[in-house]
Amino acid sequence: MNYFSEKDDVPADKIPDGPLAGKWNRYKATCRLVSFNNKKKLDVIVVGTGLAGASAAATLAEGGYNVKSFCFQDSARRAHSVAAQGGVNAAKNYQNDGDSVFRMFYDTIKGGDFRSREANVFRLAECSASLIDQAVAQGVPFGREYGGYIANRSFGGVQVRRTFYARGQTGQQLLLGAYSSMMRQVKAGKVELHTRHEILDIVLIGGKARGVIARNLDTGKIERHAAHAVILATGGFGKIYYLSTLAMGCNGSAIWRAHKKGACMANPSWTQIHPTCLPQSGEHQSKLTLMSESLRNDGRIWVPLKKDEIRPPNEIPEEERDYYLERRYPAFGNLAPRDISSRAAKERIDEGHGIGPLKNGVYLDFKHAINEYGKETIKERYGNLFRMYEKITGVDAYSQPMKISPAAHFSMGGLWVDYELSTSISGLYALGECNFSDHGANRLGANSLLQACIDGYFVLPYTLGNYLADDIKTGPISTDHPAFDKAEVESRELLDRLLSIKGTRTVDEFHKELGKIMTDKCSVSRSEIGLKEAISQIRNLRNSFWNDVRIPGKSDKVNSELEKAGRVADYLELAELMCIDALSRNESCGAHFREEYQTEDGEALRNDQDFAFLSLWEHNGENQPILHKEKLKFKEVKLVSRDYKK
């Protein structure tokens, strides 16, 4: 059975010619500009107020554009960037340990298993140092050494210390900086902030993104908003697994509806499973809690050597413990990359060495670090994380090990974008986690906050101007255009259709069932048989959803069940594409681990000859999706098998 068709054409990547190290500077020196006075004539919509959205809105407004900013939360400060804990990477080399822009570029390319563009990744590393200067100027309270210098620590997949942090609250502190900058522009009248709004559709006029249809979640009112360009900064779609580290409201609806309007999705199945989360404790849960990867700097991960061990961890002697990451990956040990660490944990759990009431976790032990550095030092480094752990579990992690387990966390896949962060729809841009651009098949820890900030503060202000230089004579975009009429009618019809089903099952029931299918068949590992079963199960579940979901209430007032229903309806379509994407790639790379393609010792077996490309998926209505292949070109790095053992 064929699940997709193929076409040879691929959108232009717009990567500048010339040496890698000079591409971004050359682009900035030659791109078209919009003068400050002309920027006042141009309107920009930014959807999302996390780090990518807030930084973009603040920077564009400061530059002179008229910005409309949207978020579904009651405050822009509640965007999910606030949940990021461990840190943000930058090639400052403050520790004098051999770091450089090129080394950071190489670590990121290698960490993503050589499945990302060289030019995009090099720009990420190149701009990283400027972000730290920007954040310090905003007052972000990075951790400091005794003498006052900014401190650094290591994260997974690297051998240098390049991660800047604010205890376990780095995302929150960076977001407060971006939020403050944005709210300054709100006060100045340059940003019009719309909280409690959800985007229902993207409006295209003449093939260009010219606005959005939004629903006021407090009143149910359907609104039209026009602009010369639309920026999506809506985060990832890991909540498709139901149990994930993401907040309950996080969703993929904005990018999925952009996809259905013509924006290609790239590598949608590449989802990061984070190795350090709290294990599921029962069927009652609706989300899982992230424990920062920074804990792996000092914590040691182990499982009992004996299967089905029932003794408390402190009663298991050292000789009966398996520090499996240190054993299998001695060069990186407990700081092996996330995809490798999660697979290793799953392998130990599946072999019967799991711990906890459900035997679904492993231990993260700080005994040795406390003995070496003292309890006060560990408390200074991770105190808020230990308090959070004790509040949730009732366990003092200073006296006994934490229990952790892998969980869905980050979407490496997302909307395809070119070098300018433009999607395949003219005038529609995607920033941060909602695009695919920088991380390949596996994101290194502390690169998520980095990408969001770099896209919003440093990249988009140049690339958007290059595009809008053609629009200075266009004049205001009218919401009376027939394209807005059509989009609004379709949005209302979707809401009415959902409310009219009046079935017997709740939205959460469908979401949980979908999450179980995806967790079992398209998560840490995948197989051809499992993916084909998942596609069939998802299609059946989607059919059941549209015939048997029950949504109480009406659309003209607050209705959280209607909000969830729209998101789950999108997930039921996106999930099928994720499984088709995973099925189409007959190799293992990064977080995409196909069981049929592995080495003798269980490591990912990449196929560079046949699969060194990005998978771009075009929506094709009710028909099969169309695959386009963007071939990856490597000139600065040599393709090698990832080896974290030596």
**pLDDT recorded at residue 156:** 87
Residue 572 to residues 511, 525, 539, Cα–Cα distance (Å)? 9, 20, 8
**pLDDT recorded at residue 284:** 87
**pLDDT recorded at residue 622:** 86
Reply yes or no on whether 443 is catalytic: no
**pLDDT recorded at residue 176:** 97
* Structural contact between residues 287 and 247, judged by C-beta atoms closer than 8 angstroms: yes
**pLDDT recorded at residue 288:** 94
Q: Which residue numbers in the chain have pLDDT < 70? A: none
- Estimate the share of the chain in helix, then strand, then coil, as percent rounded to the nearest 5: 40, 15, 40
Nearest to 16 by CA among 170, 103, 123, 102: 123
What is the C-alpha to C-alpha distance for residues 175 and 280, in angstroms, rounded to an integer?
A: 29
**Residue 467, SS3 per DSSP:** helix
**pLDDT recorded at residue 430:** 98
Q: What is the DSSP string of 95-129?
A: T-SS--HHHHHHHHHHHTTS-S-HHHHHHHHHHHH
Q: What angle is formed at CA 125 by the lines to CA 91 and CA 634, rounded to 5 degrees?
A: 130
Question: In this structure, what token pair is assigned to residue 589?
Answer: 């790379």
**pLDDT recorded at residue 512:** 97
Please state whether 263 falls in left (phi above 0), alpha (psi between -120 and 50) or beta: beta
**pLDDT recorded at residue 544:** 98
Q: Which residue is it, tokens 């939020």?
A: 179
pTM above 0.95, yes or no: yes
Task: Name every residue whose Cβ is closer than 8 Å to that of residue 399 and which is 6 or more positions away in sequence.
Answer: 314
* Structural contact between residues 116 and 633, judged by C-beta atoms closer than 8 angstroms: no
Question: In this structure, what token pair is assigned to residue 83?
Answer: 């949940």
Kindly compute the dihedral angle of the four CA atoms of residues 419, 421, 427, 432, in this order, to the nearest 10 degrees: 180
Residue 224 to residues 202, 209, 425, 499, Cα–Cα distance (Å)? 10, 13, 19, 22
| SS3 letters across 72-91 | CCCCHHHCHHHHCCCCEECC
**pLDDT recorded at residue 79:** 95
- Domains, the chain, ranges and CATH? 274-407 (3.90.700.10), 482-625 (1.20.58.100)
User: pLDDT for 154-208, tens place per residue?
Assistant: 998 899 999 999 988 999 999 999 999 999 999 999 999 999 999 999 999 999 9
Q: Which residue is it, tokens 């979407």?
A: 411
What is the C-alpha to C-alpha distance for residues 124 and 453, in angstroms, rounded to an integer?
A: 10
**pLDDT recorded at residue 167:** 83
Question: In this structure, what token pair is assigned to residue 144?
Answer: 């400091």
Question: Which run of H or E residues covers position 307?
Answer: none
**Burial bucket for residue 9 (CB in 10 Å: 0-12, 13-18, 19+):** exposed
Query: Out of 117, 210, 321, 338, which one is annotated catalytic?
Result: 338
